[in-house]
Amino acid sequence: MTLVYAITIAAYVGCGLYMMLSRHVVRMILGLTLLTNGAIFLIFFSGRIGSSMPPVIPQGSDALSADAANALPQALVLTAIVIGFALTAFAIALALKAYRSLGTLDVREMKAAEALGAPDAPSSSQTVTNHG
């Protein structure tokens, strides 16, 4: 069963990376979401999901039993879900703003910043002197 989980995680990450290499913003956002879900599954499956013992220390004992579930991956997964949702929502808002101002979601056609020129190039109002 571990091999099935590993193949599933690899498929999520592989598809996510493939989609992030696209030149369309919507595909890039979907790829980011798949990559985030792959990371969440990796964290979740690393925490011994087959255990039926809750991560509670019994009364009169000082430690968890050896077959208890690990609570740390579960807490990390909850945090990763919230961060992934916020990142996806921000990316969608950014794509919507880009579409409204540029009229396209194709990265090859988004050239508004290139018309401004290089940031380190001297402007025509500055004088360049060479003290050689």
Are 80 and 39 contacting, i.e. CB atoms less than 8 angstroms apart? yes
Backbone angles phi, psi at 106, to 5 degrees: -90, 125
Where residue 48 falls (left for φ over 0; alpha for ψ -120 to 50; beta otherwise) is left
What is the domain partition of the chain in residue ranges? 1-50+72-107
Are 54 and 64 contacting, i.e. CB atoms less than 8 angstroms apart? no
- Convert the pLDDT of each residue in 1-23 to its tens digit: 789 999 999 999 999 999 999 99
Helix (H, G, I), strand (E, B) or coil at 68: strand
Dig out the tokens for 83 from the structure. Answer: 């961060």
pTM of the model: 0.73
- Convert the pLDDT of each residue in 24-72 to its tens digit: 999 999 999 999 999 999 988 887 666 667 778 878 888 877 777 777 8
The alpha carbons of the chain give a radius of gyration, in whole angstroms, of 24
Q: What is the CATH number of domain 1-50+72-107?
A: 1.10.287.3510
